[in-house]
Amino acid sequence: MTTKESTHPAEAEKRNAQLILRARDFWAALVLMGLSIFFLWRTSFIPLWGENRAGVSGGDWYNSAALVPLGIFSAMFILSLILLRIAWRDGGAKQALSPLGIGWSKTEALRFATLAVILFFYIAGLVPRVDFILCSGLLITALIFGFHGGYAYRMVLVAAAVGLAGLYAMVMNLPRAHWTQHDDDWLVLTIWFALTVWVLLADRGSRLARVIPVIALLAPTLLVCAMAFGFRQNVPNRGGLIFKQIEYHYYVTLKPIWSGK
């Protein structure tokens, strides 16, 4: 077997990839099994046999709201058992606990973890609480600078920058009633400005470094204005630091000019 693997590196690589996949399948099967059992238990809360609720009959079993979910989660449980058997048979269980078996390299783990931090704090922390132009400008700057060259320290740096801004917004202005406050807007503006300066210094003379601030400013501004004034749709955080000014001048300064009022 060893000789064979050494003489056919492509085949060995294929076999290795298959092992990694089966190790992941082993974990996935366990997660799916747990989820299907949990949801089968939750389904038991929905009346199946026509129970009475507040004196009203819930109907027959074939009309129950639990019928289809019961089928779905039972099928998922059976399929997860089959997947577990396949993973076990193909050696996935043996590899399941080794980092190589999971196929999780350090570089890839860092890339994913930093991206997950950035996306989580952008969506959960910044978009609801901070001006959309500011937080999206920070996001664009962070993602381009952090992930363009594949440098680990840049990924960590930008994740820390977005994470700090997001964490501050979440901690200081957690309840919806605080979402209109501007302290987090100022912090994001400062971090964005500092990161832009860092980008310009780190990649001095590069064309990309000069383009990043332009894209980071123009893209979200154009998008949010098109959405709010072109399509007349709701946009995140209308009371944000910059958008509030744009909206005011759109309706008070600009619109009367072309409406002839």
d(C-alpha 43, C-alpha 37), whole Å: 10
Candidates 120, 186, 248, 251: give the one binding other proteins (CB under 8 A): 120
Candidates 12, 30, 40, 46: give the one binding other proteins (CB under 8 A): 46
By CB under 8 A, tell whether 58 contacts other proteins.
Answer: yes
# residues near other proteins by CB under 8 A: 64
CB of 7 to other proteins, least distance (A): 26
Task: Find where tokens 């058997």 sit.
Answer: 85
By CB under 8 A, tell whether 111 contacts other proteins.
Answer: yes
Candidates 156, 223, 241, 242: give the one binding other proteins (CB under 8 A): 223
Query: What tokens appear for 137 in the block?
Result: 């400008």
Candidates 4, 42, 89, 178: give the one binding other proteins (CB under 8 A): 42
By CB under 8 A, tell whether 248 contacts other proteins.
Answer: no
d(C-alpha 165, C-alpha 92), whole Å: 41
Contact in structure between 138 and 191 (CB atoms under 8 Å):
yes
* 254: nearest Cα among 245, 134, 132: 245
Q: Phi and psi dihedrals of 108, rounded to 5? A: -70, -40
By CB under 8 A, tell whether 48 contacts other proteins.
Answer: no
By CB under 8 A, tell whether 124 contacts other proteins.
Answer: yes
In sequence order, the β-bridge partners of residue 53 are 56
Query: What tokens appear for 69 in the block?
Result: 């979910």
Cβ count within 10 A of residue 40: 17
Does residue 52 sit in helix, strand or coil?
Answer: strand
By CB under 8 A, tell whether 28 contacts other proteins.
Answer: yes
By CB under 8 A, tell whether 161 contacts other proteins.
Answer: no
By CB under 8 A, tell whether 149 contacts other proteins.
Answer: yes
- Residue 91 zone, left/alpha/beta (φ > 0; ψ -120 to 50; rest): left
**Cβ proximity to other proteins, 140 vs 191, nearer residue:** 140
Candidates 30, 219, 241, 242: give the one binding other proteins (CB under 8 A): 219
DSSP state of 90: T
Task: Find where tokens 């008070």 sit.
Answer: 252
By CB under 8 A, tell whether 49 contacts other proteins.
Answer: no
**Cβ proximity to other proteins, 4 vs 152, nearer residue:** 152
DSSP state of 227: I
Contact in structure between 140 and 221 (CB atoms under 8 Å):
no
* 239: nearest Cα among 192, 186, 179: 179
CB of 3 to other proteins, least distance (A): 28
**Cβ proximity to other proteins, 25 vs 168, nearer residue:** 25
By CB under 8 A, tell whether 83 contacts other proteins.
Answer: yes
The footprint of other proteins (CB under 8 A) covers 21, 24-25, 28, 32, 39, 42, 46-47, 58-65, 67-69, 72-73, 75-76, 79-80, 82-83, 86, 111-112, 115-116, 119-120, 122-124, 127-128, 132, 136, 139-140, 143-144, 147-150, 208, 211, 215, 219-220, 223-224, 227, 231-236
